[in-house]
Amino acid sequence: MERIEVLAIQRLGAADRAKIESVDPSVRLTDAGGWFDGEYRATWPAYTSSRYLRAGSDGAGTREERDRLLAEAEVVLGGWPFPLDLRARARRLKWFHQRPAGASNLLRGDLWGSDVIVTTSRGVGSTLAMAEYALAGILHFAKNLDRAILDRSAAGFDHRAYRPLLIEGKTACVVGAGGIGRDVGRLCAAIGMRVVGTQRNPRPNEPVPAGFSELAGAADLDRFLPDSDFVVICCQWTPETNRLFDSARFALMKAGSVLVNVARGEIVDEDALAEALDRGHLRGVVLDVYVGEFEHLPPARLWSDPRVLITPHVSGASDEDRHGGIDLFCDNLRAYLDGRPMRNVIDWQRGY
């Protein structure tokens, strides 16, 4: 039986290692999680290293040993960050699986646009946790909890400044009704909201997802925005969605609406967003992402605005690990060994 060399360059627990090794006797798994941390510190921005690497972790083995591991690997399981020159060093590499969901994470390295099959964990990540975060952001501004923060800073209550909204009957627009977006829609509907959404390629014959009153194509976004009290961005960042929310789209949004972004910062034109806030067009903004989040802190113009709530890409975190990336990898590994199509293969032209 021909042996399949699988290299994990992200840290794995014992249970995940056992899952991978049980897929087939031909699989030889090498766990090199943490081995490349020193390289990441040298090749990625310092902000990325401090945010995503364990304190004091400088990697393991010599450069020659790490090169050998990559050179022998047919399959690599990675996370964030990853070796920027992975393709050049992994000459036998046929398939790379990224545990995170966002294909745009890979834009930096030499894998993008290469001949290697690349898959992501799109749709099976911490979708429920992210949906709960989006709902929390909606409620934060709907119930004027932002005012409570201002009052505490002023050491006094401005009672008349509170303008809480009744959620029931309000409209939420989900931009990108994939795994995250469908959970957002379901939760919003559960508290009485009307939910509409967009999808890049909706299938006319498929039933509308639970909680949605309408699911339409990307071109219908402009039709939904004027009537939407809350807009939640959940789509992938691609050339088509780059600065999707620009000055024209903010002008279309309903006056007094709330924007939540749990996708990627680049989907929002931050200058246009600041201008919309300056003219008082938005009630509030919740950003778990922003442009350049892996390199620096948020722009002061947004971070200092009390109508903007910014968190450091933590919407998928919770006390329960429900991330399905390893299960998807194992399913795809079985398909790879059997010569069957795999799920979530990146289309380089489409961008995810």
Q: What is the pLDDT of residues 241-285, one digit of tens each?
A: 999 999 999 999 999 999 999 999 999 999 999 999 999 999 999
Q: What is the mean pLDDT of residues 303-314?
A: 97
pLDDT of residue 135: 98
**Tokens coding 127:** 């979708």
122, 264, 283, 323: the catalytic one is 264
Asked if residue 78 has pLDDT above 90, the reply is: yes
Sign of CA dihedral 95, 96, 97, 101: negative
17, 51, 281, 313: the catalytic one is 313
Q: What is the mean pLDDT of residues 133-158?
A: 96
Beta bridge partners of 171: 194
Asked if residue 223 has pLDDT above 80, the reply is: yes
Q: What is the mean pLDDT of the chain?
A: 96
pLDDT of residue 272: 98
Specify burial of residue 90 (Cβ count, 10 A radius: 0-12, 13-18, 19+). buried
- Reduced to 3 states (helix: H, G, I; strand: E, B; else coil), residue 217 is strand
Among the residue ranges 84-88, 202-206, 308-312, the one predicted with the least confidence is 202-206
Asked if residue 207 has pLDDT above 70, the reply is: yes
Task: Return the CA Rg of the chain.
Answer: 22
Do you know the residue count of the chain? 352
Unique residue bearing structure tokens 């006797």: 25
Confidence band of 202 (pLDDT split at 50, 70, 90): confident
Question: How many angstroms separate the CA atoms of 3 and 27, rounded?
Answer: 6
pLDDT of residue 203: 79
Confirm whether 63 is a catalytic residue: no
65, 163, 240, 295: the catalytic one is 295
Question: How many angstroms separate the CA atoms of 68 and 171, rounded?
Answer: 55
Confirm whether 313 is a catalytic residue: yes
Confirm whether 264 is a catalytic residue: yes
Question: How many other C-beta atoms lie within 10 A of the C-beta of residue 212?
Answer: 22
pLDDT of residue 1: 61
pLDDT of residue 201: 83
**Tokens coding 166:** 């009744």
- Going by C-alpha positions, the residue among 104, 114, 128 that lies closest to residue 267 is 104
Element (H, E) at 151: helix 145-154
Domains annotated on the chain, with CATH: 4-124+323-338 (3.40.50.720), 127-310 (3.40.50.720)
Q: What is the mean pLDDT of residues 61-85?
A: 97
